[in-house]
Structures are given as C-alpha cells and as structure tokens.
Amino acid sequence: MPVATVGDAASAERAVTTDDIDAYAELTGDRNPIHLDEEYAGETAFGGRIAHGMYSAGVVSAALARLPGDVIYLSQNLSFENPVRPGATVRAEVEVVEHVGGDRVRVETVADADGDRVVSGEAVVLSVPHGE
C-alpha cells in the first residue's frame, strides 16, 4: 500500500448524539456539566449541552486514518472555533500539504458541523506502507 503524499486527502463524518456525548464522558472521565447537564448548560453562554471539543478532534483522527498507508499521529495543534450540539453532524477533512522528512508529512485538518467550522489545525503524522 502506498504512503500519504502531498495532495492526498481524506474525510470522515459522524452524527453527534447525546448518547455519544455521555459515552465519551464515561470513557474519558470528562464529566463537565456543560456536556452532560441540560439544565446547567442551558444557563451558560452556549444555551444547552455541547459535545466535548475532543469528540470533533476524534473525527479528525478518523479522517487521518483514511489516508494511504499506516498513519500514526506524532503531533496535532487545534483551534476550537464553535460548539457542536447534539444532533449535528461533524465532518472532518484532512489534506497532506508538506513532506517534512523521512516518513513524516504535515496535514491540514478541519472539521465543520452543519456548516460551521468547529475545529481547525494541522497535524504531523508518520505514514508508512501497510504492514511495516
């Protein structure tokens, strides 16, 4: 299988449910009431529950996994730009923009939810042929 090269792109998407948010909180231990308590969250600037920011980042990770070769995260910077509400669909898109040496490439990463940018950033990943 080939490795990821400049110009390669991939995407992934996931509909966000309250069950997903609850499961993410249980899995990670992040039980911030902005994510879990509708009454509490309704009193905040968000006006209701929102998904964990890293939930959207996880969809970015799923998109990276769809690039050619075996892809291993080395680093990621993220900007969280807008909240994601239950019922939204997060769509992540990634594109390899630079070969940075060896088996490493730099990848632009973005995610939108129902037309709003929710995450942007870039990653450096290791991309090797499958099975190596």
Query: What are the extents of the domains in the chain?
Result: 9-128
Here the tokens at position 46 are 């968000």
Query: What CA–CA distance (Å, rounded) separates 70 from 65?
Result: 7
pLDDT value for 80:
97
What was the pLDDT predicted at 130? 79
- Residue-wise pLDDT tens digits, 104-115: 999 999 999 999
Options 3.40.50.300, 3.40.50.11740, 3.10.129.10, 3.40.630.30; CATH of 9-128: 3.10.129.10
- pTM here is 0.94
Query: Percent of the chain, pLDDT > 70?
Result: 98
The H or E element that residue 17 is part of is: none
The 10 Å Cβ neighbour count of residue 11 is 16
Q: Can you say whether the dihedral through the CA atoms of 22, 43, 88, 96 is positive or negative? A: negative
Q: In what order do the strands lie in the sheet with 89-101?
A: 9-15, 89-101, 104-113, 116-128, 70-80
Q: pLDDT tens-digit profile of 2-47?
A: 899 999 999 999 999 999 999 999 999 999 999 999 999 999 999 9
